[in-house]
Amino acid sequence: MEWFIFQTLAAIVDFGGERSRTHFGAVWSGYTVDGRFGGRGDCLRGEPNLKESRKMKVALLTGGGDCPGLNAVIYAAVKKGINRYGDEFVGFLNGWRGVLDDKWIPLTLERIDGIQLTGGTILHSSRTNVKKIPGGIEQVEKVLKANGIDALIALGGDDTQSVTLALTEAGIPGVGVPKTIDNDINGTDATFGFDTAVSIATEAVDRIRTTADSHNRVIVIEVMGRDAGWIAYASGVAGGADVVLVPEKEIDIDHVAALLKYNYDRGKTYGLVVVAEGCHLPEVGQVIGSKQLDSFGHARLSGIGEALAELIEKKTGFETRSVNLGHTQRGGSPTAYDRLLGQRYGLHAIDMVHQQKWGRIAVLKGTDITDITIKEAIATNRRLDQRFFDVISDLEARV
């Protein structure tokens, strides 16, 4: 019986499995004579080498918005790297900023003990666009060379990975791990952090339901997700919201009012609306919290919940309030799912390094962790399609 349970768990979890045991050896030793990263001459970049794996000095960093599960990736990559490959690790602080400033900490087995259970990132984060900084790529190259770094593992979303791609195109050996609560990275079925964000948002919808009901109110709940509606879709449906609004579709305020009125006419005296921060209001478009753009050119999306609540109250006459869940969705410890997914990504990432899969990023396809090119991953955003719109509309009242 115990053996059966173990086998079943192993099949579900697939920690590395046969693929990681037959990893290709890495022979990366530093830089070529022209100052670029290079091998010992017995392998070509990106091609697997069947020689025995050599230990490497690997640097990790976390860029962009933090996300529950980042520490789980760091934990697994460092643990396997040290135990299986004999690697040495450093972690650059504050994303690409730490590489430019040469700020890092050693990552030892003692330092990573227990971090897979914790939220945030022990390496801290920033939104630093190296490509926009004159001499940025050269500075990264210089710092990595000075520290004897053989390879980089960058944990981040499309912005962070656009820098990883630029660096690998400049000859710097690096791989990516996709990170975002928004779940919008092309080519991967799920990013860690999304499950945690959805659990938190769903719990919030549950809690808001009882107070909305008591006070006979409509409450609009604004969730994150940038231009993708994954968090709104998942928490709205899981939380049983009456109206779920996603950025992939423009808001039809008459339809929203009709849905709420339909319920009121049938004796339900409250309403729950989940709206994604990136939704487009008619004649207004996206609601921006601050005009200041980050270094990747993104405005801060925030405030659509409040604007929508005003419109709903005007249209329906129902007392309407709004709640913006904001960064509560990104904080706190990761769910079991995200701890597991993060660790699986970390295990794959360190294998990718030893297989010299430069310019590639770990992804989840079905139940398998595999990898694709960073170029493909950042070419477009993964957004909701008709299948998900159907789920939302099939659960709506018929109006």
180 binds ligand F6P (CB under 6 A): yes
- Residue whose C-beta lies closest to ligand F6P: 224
Structure tokens at 95: 């994303």
Q: Is 293 a binder of ligand F6P (CB under 6 A)?
A: no
Of residues 137 through 166, those in contact with ligand F6P by CB under 6 A are 157
| Upper half-sphere CA count for residue 376 (Cβ side, 13 Å) | 10
* Cβ(59)–Cβ(89) below 8 Å: yes
Q: Alpha helices, DSSP H only, in 81-135?
A: 96-100, 109-112
Kindly name the residue from 66, 150, 158, 182 that is annotated as catalytic.
Answer: 182
Q: Which of 324, 259, 256 lies closest to 287, judged by CA?
A: 324
Contact letters for ligand F6P, residues 25-64 (x by CB under 6 A)? ----------------------------------------
The DSSP output letter for 25 is: P
Q: Report d(CA 355, CA 49) in Å as an integer.
A: 7
Closer residue to ligand F6P (CB): 267 or 297: 297
Q: What mask, x for binding ligand F6P by CB under 6 A, covers residues 207 to 246?
A: -----------------xxx--------------------
Cα four-point dihedral sign 351, 357, 362, 365: negative
| Nearest-approach distance from CB 300 to ligand F6P, in angstroms | 6
Which CB atom, from 87 or from 184, has the smaller least distance to ligand F6P? 184
Among 132, 300, 314, 365, binds ligand F6P (CB under 6 A): 300
Smaller CB separation from ligand F6P, 65 or 81: 65
- 374 part of the interface to ligand F6P, by CB under 6 A: no
Which residue's CB is nearer to ligand F6P, number 99 or number 224? 224
Q: How far apart are CA 231 and CA 194, in angstroms?
A: 7
Q: Is 304 in the site for ligand F6P (CB under 6 A)?
A: no
Closest CB 326 distance from ligand F6P, rounded Å: 8
121 is a contact residue toward ligand F6P (CB under 6 A): no
| SS3 label, residue 84 | helix
Per CB under 6 A, does 97 bind ligand F6P? no
Work out which of 330, 344, 360, 383 binds ligand F6P, going by CB under 6 A: 330
Nearer to ligand F6P, 181 or 257 (CB): 181
Question: Which 8-state DSSP code applies to residue 187?
Answer: T
* Residue 182 annotated among the catalytic residues of the structure: yes
Q: Which of 166, 301, 347, 361 binds ligand F6P (CB under 6 A)?
A: 301
* Contact region with ligand F6P (CB under 6 A), list: 73-81, 147-155, 180-188, 310-318: 180-188
Distance separating alpha carbons of residues 180 and 157, to the nearest angstrom: 6
By rule CB under 6 A, what count of residues binds ligand F6P? Answer: 12
Q: Which residues are registered as beta bridge partners of 361?
A: 176, 372
Dump the DSSP string for 230-278.
HHHHHHHHHTT-SEEE-TTS---HHHHHHHHHHHHHTT---EEEEEETT
Is 183 an interacting residue with respect to ligand F6P (CB under 6 A)?
A: no
CA 28 to chain centre: 29
Give the number of residues written for the chain: 399
- What kind and span of H or E run contains 341? helix 336-354
User: What token pair was written down for 189?
Assistant: 């079925």
Residue nearer to ligand F6P on the CB measure, 226 or 354: 226
91 - beta bridge partners? 60, 105
Cα 24 to Cα 2: distance, rounded to the nearest angstrom: 33
Residues that bind ligand F6P (CB under 6 A): 65, 157, 180-182, 224-226, 277, 300-301, 330
Task: Tell me the catalytic residues.
Answer: 182
